[in-house]
Structure 1
Amino acid sequence: MCMRYLGFVLLVWLPGVLNAPSAARPCGVPSLIEGYFVPEQDPEQESYSHGTVLTYSCNSGRKPAVEGWWATSKCQEGNWSPEPNCIDEDACISPDIPKAKYKKSQNGWYEEGDEIIITCDKGYEPKHQDATTICINGTWSSVPVCEKSAHACGEPPYFPHAVIIHQKYQEVFAAGSVVQYECEDGYTVEGADTKKSIFCVAGNWTEGPTCRSSTTSGSNDRNSRPIFDTVDRCGALPHVPHGVVVQQDRRFLRYQCNDYYTRVGLDTVVCYSDGSWSQLPVCEDAFCVLDPANVPSVVRPSGREYFKEGERKYVHCMWDYFSAGAHCIQGRMYFTRCCHYNDHYRGLCQESAAVE
């Protein structure tokens, strides 16, 4: 009797043991160069259990590789996250820029003077066309902002008796986006068709579906022409000096300006039902020319050179290990005074007036 009872207990207990999750892996003792943990680590400690949180700070001239002058790291399945690290106080951590992508640093931070160039998500564009930021003295220069593009569209409009199909919800739609509607059962758009697509063109959605009851007489149909037509109805593609067509759709054309030029106006062009094109973009000069004959007397450039709008470079000065910062702003060249290269990185060289 006792043996049978013991066997019953084992049958109840063993499945729980067999199905119990394995214990989470502990973490080894983390190393931290030029920093210290608070409180100090026990020198005899060999490992830390999963979930342990350590606090640390850094020696003078260094800082944690996260926001703030102190930081924490948590043991998660045998690894410390984020890994404790002290970096130079003039370095920068990765910036948080909503709706943007940029090349991430492999080690998680950026050195003094490093530059980031962002690419905004579809439907967004850099505010004031500023897409770069530079790490200076441990902080980023003006961080770019991605804002809704002037030629993007908002939420697709509502049409009675019509529903959007095969489309995930999103707040902003890039120019050229297509949304397809389907009429409810018993309703049609034209004839026996139950579906119709609308397009985002120049910040507006094209004409949407009018879903009518399938039993309604065709005499009630509207007698108006659509605002937009397919691009083949307008003939030859319009020419934009210093620009090229980078996308051609049935409903629109998208232009892009060549290097050293910037676009003014919308990049999307459509064909109207009267056979005319919408307003074309203009590609304006967006460069400066560094001419050796027209620079400060102490500057020694290697030759004539073109700078894109907003581009910064260093040019040699008459003294060894000295250079001047050259910056193209609105078609004019600006120069810093000649500084030792260390002073440039510390932001100690201010720009002077433009050189005509």
Structure 2
Amino acid sequence: MTLLSLTTGFLLWMCCATHKASAGAACEDPPLIEFGKIVSGIKSEYEENDRVQYTCDPGYALSGSEWVTCHGKVWMPGPPQCLERPCGNIPAVANAAFEGRSKEKYEPGETVRYQCHEGFQVTGPPEIFCRRGNWSTPPICEEKDRKCGPPPDIEYGDILSFPLPEYDHGKTVKYKCPSFYILEGPEQITCINGLWTNPPVCLAACTASEEDMDRNNIELRWRGERKLYSTSGDFVEFDCKIGHVQDPASSPFRVQCMDGTLEYPRCKPGRNCSLNETAMDRNNIKLRHSRRSNIYHSKETISFKCNFWFRAVSNPEDFEAQCQDGVINYPRCQLYFG
């Protein structure tokens, strides 16, 4: 046998041995699946035609073949899937009905809402949801047979009827507030399953105190107004007293009554005014009423009129000038034929 024939024989043997080894090679580990696991056929190494079996976690259904086989280094058919199970009929709840139409099958995540019959109250969440083939816990509808005790007291207010030691479900009572108080909220409350609905409140009136106004050098803006009482929510307007001007640091002079409280503005002493006779002669005016002193307090009114043979050029309201913190704005007149 020649060297060439030996070499050729060795190469043919190697080729056949390699092909045989390749045909019997093991598969890789079978793939894992979500929400499932392998329960049969588990080995450390897998050979041709080995099989493994899959199963799903509770609440999930197998989609595909539960068995897969090692064939040519590939697991056939492909691994199955574990899909969340749907739910069946809606659970019945006594003294309640569910919203919508009934179905034989409900997909995972679907919800159903219950409504208790009249005279019954829901206990627990009113909705149920489908998850992994099962419904969540349904609610309970119980009778509203609990009674209420006496209605709650409210500050400054009272009920319109004589209070009873207990009230049946559905009974109502009404409240009232005294004069100058505002009733805010429902006038009537109801007993529901042993509890009263929220009662109203009586908002206190505000009293514009003479002492507080004197302390802040203010008075009611409309001097003929003697309304010292204001209901909550009303606005009260103030002005400085004669001889005073608004303090720059004061709060607004239009104040809202807030449940018995007023925030008073403040005035400070103003500068007096002295009549300037030169300015009066230049503007052809004189005082409407004579007086001993030519000194006027701040905010005090000074009435002017035209001299004889002169007519008004300024507006009529300008002839009722006011001392403004030491300053007088004089009106002006001119000759009839000037």
TM category, shorter: under 0.3
Q: Give the TM-score taking structure 2 as reference length.
A: 0.25
Find the structure with the greater CA-based Rg. Answer: 2
Q: Give the TM-score taking structure 1 as reference length.
A: 0.24
